[in-house]
Every structure is written in C-alpha cells, then in structure tokens.
Structure 1
Amino acid sequence: MRIDKLLAHSGLGTRKEVKKLLKSSIIEINGEIVKDPKTQVDPDQDEIKIAGDQLDYQEFVYFMLNKPAGVISATEDVMHETVLDLLELSDIVQEPHPVGRLDIDTEGLLLLTNDGGLTHRLLSPKHHVDKTYLAEIEGIVTEEDVAAFRKGVELDDGYQTMPAELKVLAVDEESQTSNIEITIQEGKFHQVKRMFHAVGKEVLYLKRLSMGPLTLDPHLELGAYRECTKEEIAQLKAE
C-alpha cells in the first residue's frame, strides 16, 4: 500500500494534506524519514511513526452490536436513529455498515464492518449461513408447525422458503402464546414474521441470537457494542 493512501485512510487528511505532512519530514517508516507519497508500506510489518508517535492502522473493523428496538439497520436516515448512531465513531476512521438488516422492532445481534468481502460471503444465498432467533408468538406453536417449517413454508408472495429449524421452548395456554427458537438460512424481507403469518400466527417479539458462528455476547446490554475478538473474526472468515 502507498504511504499516502495509508495515512489518508488513517484520518490524517486528504491525499493533498497528507503530501504536505510527508514534506514536513515527520513521517518515519522503520526509523527512516519518508517524503515520497508513492513509497510502499506494509502496515502489518513496518513500523510507522508520525512525529515520533506510533501509527496503529486497521484496514477493517468488526463490531458486535446488541441492537435495540426502534433503531434501523442503516448507515443514515432522516427519520430514525440508525445503528451507526449507536457507535462512538470519533476514533473510527473506517466506515462500517450493518451486515444484513434487522427490522426496526427486532432486537439482538448485528455485525457492523467495513469488510465488504466478508459481508458478501455472510449474506450470499449460496453460503446458507444460519441465523438463529428467539421469539414470542401469538398463538400455540404446534408440532405441525415444526414439521411445516422443516419442509419450508409458502410466503404471502408465493415464495417457498428453505427448510427452517423450529424449536418450541414454552407454551402458555392461558395467554395463548409460545416462546420459540428458529434458525433460518435466508434473509427475506420480514421473513420470520411472514413464516409465522403463513401458519396463522403472529410474532410479538423477535431477537437475533446468532449469525453463523457469531453469537450475541450475553453481557452486552441493549444498544451496547464491542469489537469482535480475533477468534470471532477468524471464525466468521472461515464460514
């Protein structure tokens, strides 16, 4: 990578402003002053200093967010608070985006990253990445429903879903509600809600627990986030 590109990506200014920095003789690579903007540098191998301070460069960032209801899975919106509004971006030069979308009233796990390659792999239909949700359902979920989901159900637009794993966790006869866990491998618009609607039931509450190998940290409160660990990132990239 060219040194001017790396410095610009690190938030030190535009390419033009970075060239001025280089001319001021305050940029060092492995102890040597560098002025040529075309100088090649490896941020993983080379020691880069600016006026004596070490530059800590990250090409990609990965955040796990426990999305609350009322927040939309977008980078910007004039009407609603977005998931990026929940991040403290003042120290983040990179521009992360949500990997997939959770409905505005859905809570739970949302991955945010600027790694476009990983985003594509996780969302690509051909990779069949598991997404597991916890839900409260209006109605009694039966073994017939479990069997129907296992085969795939027809949505309101005629689309036949892929097989889904549905587990009944608890049933309340008095309130006529059910607590369930469902794992799907697709991400159609309002898919979980539409699947239950197809069997005559409605979703009252929905929370995503996991996406592929990434599981929501139980210590993350609603609206809180943290950086993914190296182990989590490696698992995601191996998905």
Structure 2
Amino acid sequence: MRLDKFLAEAGLGSRKEVKQLIKKGVITVNAQVEKKDKTQVEPESDTIAYAGEILHYQKYYYYLLHKPAGTISATEDKKDRTVMDLFKSQDYRNDLFPVGRLDKDTEGLLLITNDGQLAHELLSPKKHVDKEYLAQVAGVMDRADQQRFREGIPLDGEPTLPAELMIDAIDEERRTSTVRIILQEGKFHQVKRMVKACGKEVIYLKRIRMGRLSLPNDLAKGAYRELSREELAQLKSSE
C-alpha cells in the first residue's frame, strides 16, 4: 500500500493533506523519516508514525449512533446540523457516512461507516433486510390497516414491498395508536406515507432495529459508539 493512502485511511486527512505531512518530514516508517508519498508500506508489519505517535491501520469503521430529532442524515449540510456533527474530532473521518436516511424529526438507530459494500447490502430491497420502527400514530390502526401493509401500499406509482404492522397499544379516548412497523426497503418518508395512506398520521417515529442489530437501551440520544465484534457479526449476518 502507498504511504499516502495508508495515512489517509488512518484518518490523518485527505490524500492531498497527508502528502504535505510527508513533505514536512513528520512521518516515519520503521523509525526512519520518509518523504516520498509513493513509498510502499506493509500495514501489518511496518511501524508507521506521525510526530512520534504510532498509527494503527484499520480499513473499515462501524459506529452505532442514536440519532436525535433535529439532525440531518447526511455528511454535511449548509443549514442544519448533521449526524456527523455529533462526532468527536478524534473519531471523525472524511470517508464516514450514514447508512440510509432517517427524516430530520425521526430518532433512533443509524449506522455510520466507511464500508460501502456493507451499506449496499443493508439498503438493497433485494436483500430483504428488516428495518423496524416504533411509531406513535394519531388515529386508531386496525386489522384492515395490517392487511394493507401486508399487501403493499401504492407509493410513487407502484406498491411497496409487503410490510408488517404490529399494533402494540390503542388509546380509544385519545384516538391514538402505538405500533411497530417492519419494512425491507427505504422509500422517501415511507413509514409516514404508508400510515397516511391508511388515513392516520405519524406523530413520533423511531427506528429500533436494522437486520439483527437492535438499538441498545443504554445508548443516549445523540451518543454513538463503535460496534462490538458481536454486533458487527449480527449486522453482517443480516445481509
């Protein structure tokens, strides 16, 4: 692997930025200053350091974020705070991105990674990966709505894939419902639009599961952490 590529993937900056670091003589390979960005290194065996600090190579990063309402599922936005703005400087990398989108007012589980292949596997409708949501609904959902979800509801000129609607609680006095919805695709505002097609309205929405990975109860809103090996295995087994 080229030295500049290693440094960029180690999180020191863009390829252009790390080339400047190399020229400044602050990068060492096996305790020797290296000033050529094209130098080939072996990440597993060479000792590469920046200003005396040894760098450890890790190609892919996986973070579990509890997205709070009011943040945008994007890497950058000129108007609103993004989920990447929640990251501490020592964890932030230019190549990290959210897997899929949650609406600005939607909370819950959001995977942040730089593994494009895994993201594709999790998001492709052909892979049938479950995305489970908890919703508070204005209106009383019933068996007829459940049947419509199972059959698929027309959106954008074609029916959605079959989805599961589970009714957890009904408040007859307030005419509200607490439901869980499992989808295997991610159309724009899909949960809200499917519920609206049934004559009701989503007033609160939270994603609680993706594949076999569930949102931990002890992860506060706005907090994130790296996936454990077990969680990553669960996620990959969902592909």
CA contact (8 A) 1:61 1:94 kept: no
Classify 1:40/1:232 alpha carbon distance in 2 versus 1 (closer, same or farther; 3 Å). farther
CA contact (8 A) 2:63 2:226 kept: yes
Shift of 1:163: 0.6
Q: Which secondary structure does the structure 1 equivalent of 2:159 belong to?
A: coil
Match of 2:113? 113
CA contact (8 A) 2:22 2:35 kept: no
User: Counterparts in 2 of 1:81-96, with a 5 A limit?
Assistant: 81-96=81-96
Once residues 48 and 115 of structure 2 are traced to their aligned partners in structure 1, the CA distance between those partners, rounded to angstroms, is 23
Counting aligned pairs with the same residue, the percent is 54
Match of 1:161? 160
User: Counterparts in 2 of 1:64-75, with a 5 A limit?
Assistant: 64-75=64-75
Classify 1:76/1:144 alpha carbon distance in 2 versus 1 (closer, same or farther; 3 Å). same
Shift of 1:52: 5.0
Classify 1:51/1:84 alpha carbon distance in 2 versus 1 (closer, same or farther; 3 Å). closer
CA contact (8 A) 2:22 2:34 kept: no
More displaced 10-residue stretch of structure 1: 92-101 or 143-152: 92-101
Q: Which secondary structure does the structure 2 equivalent of 1:105 belong to?
A: coil
CA contact (8 A) 2:67 2:109 kept: yes
Q: Deviations over 1:163-211 (max 9, x none)?
A: 1111110001000001011100010000001111111111111000011
Classify 1:85/1:227 alpha carbon distance in 2 versus 1 (closer, same or farther; 3 Å). same
Could you list the runs of 5+ residues in structure 2 that have no partner in the other structure? none
| 1:15 is the counterpart of 2:19 | yes
User: Counterparts in 2 of 1:154-233, with a 5 A limit?
Assistant: 154-155=154-155, 157-233=156-232
Match of 2:29? 28
- With normalisation by structure 1, the TM-score equals 0.88
Once residues 69 and 92 of structure 1 are traced to their aligned partners in structure 2, the CA distance between those partners, rounded to angstroms, is 21
Classify 1:180/1:50 alpha carbon distance in 2 versus 1 (closer, same or farther; 3 Å). same
Shift of 1:37: 4.1
Q: Which secondary structure does the structure 1 equivalent of 2:232 belong to?
A: helix
Once residues 45 and 145 of structure 1 are traced to their aligned partners in structure 2, the CA distance between those partners, rounded to angstroms, is 59
Q: Which amino acid aligns with 2:29?
A: E
Q: Which amino acid aligns with 2:112?
A: L
Shift of 1:152: 1.1
Q: Which amino acid aligns with 1:134?
A: L
Shift of 1:118: 1.4
Q: Deviations over 1:75-118 (max 9, x none)?
A: 11122111111111344344311111001111100111111111
Classify 1:38/1:79 alpha carbon distance in 2 versus 1 (closer, same or farther; 3 Å). closer
More displaced 10-residue stretch of structure 1: 114-123 or 163-172: 114-123
Once residues 66 and 42 of structure 1 are traced to their aligned partners in structure 2, the CA distance between those partners, rounded to angstroms, is 36
CA contact (8 A) 2:9 2:58 kept: no
User: Counterparts in 2 of 1:118-137, with a 5 A limit?
Assistant: 118-137=118-137
Q: Which secondary structure does the structure 2 equivalent of 1:231 belong to?
A: helix
Q: Which amino acid aligns with 1:15?
A: K
Q: Which amino acid aligns with 1:182?
A: I
Once residues 64 and 203 of structure 2 are traced to their aligned partners in structure 1, the CA distance between those partners, rounded to angstroms, is 24
Q: How many residues are aligned here?
A: 234
Q: Which secondary structure does the structure 1 equivalent of 2:135 belong to?
A: strand
Q: Which secondary structure does the structure 2 equivalent of 1:89 belong to?
A: coil
Match of 2:76? 76
Classify 1:91/1:180 alpha carbon distance in 2 versus 1 (closer, same or farther; 3 Å). closer
